[in-house]
Amino acid sequence: MAATSALNSTVNKIVKEVKKFTPLEQEEILVKAKLTNYLNAHKKPIANYDSKKLKPPTMAQIDKWKHDSRVKK
């Protein structure tokens, strides 16, 4: 019970300090917190492919794809 009480007081202190920031700064802090949480969670990649067999495209391939996508058909 004491742990949740201490946690609540810590969260309340954080909220009190963050309220002093501008909305843009608050949004930035929120994004950083979410990103840190995501990176620490060690999530699996969304796409299901074998990353050992599949190589990333080269810059030449990417440039060709971009060129092809801009060509009018």
Quick: pLDDT tens for 10-31: 889 989 999 999 999 999 999 9
Range of the domain at 39: 2-70
Q: Kindly indicate the confidence band of residue 54, based on its pLDDT and cuts at 50, 70 and 90.
A: confident
- Count the domains in the chain: 1
Q: How many residues can be counted in the chain?
A: 73
Determine the residue type at 7. L
Report field, pTM of the whole predicted structure over 0.75: no
Cα distances from 20 to residues 9, 15, 52, in angstroms, run 17, 9, 48
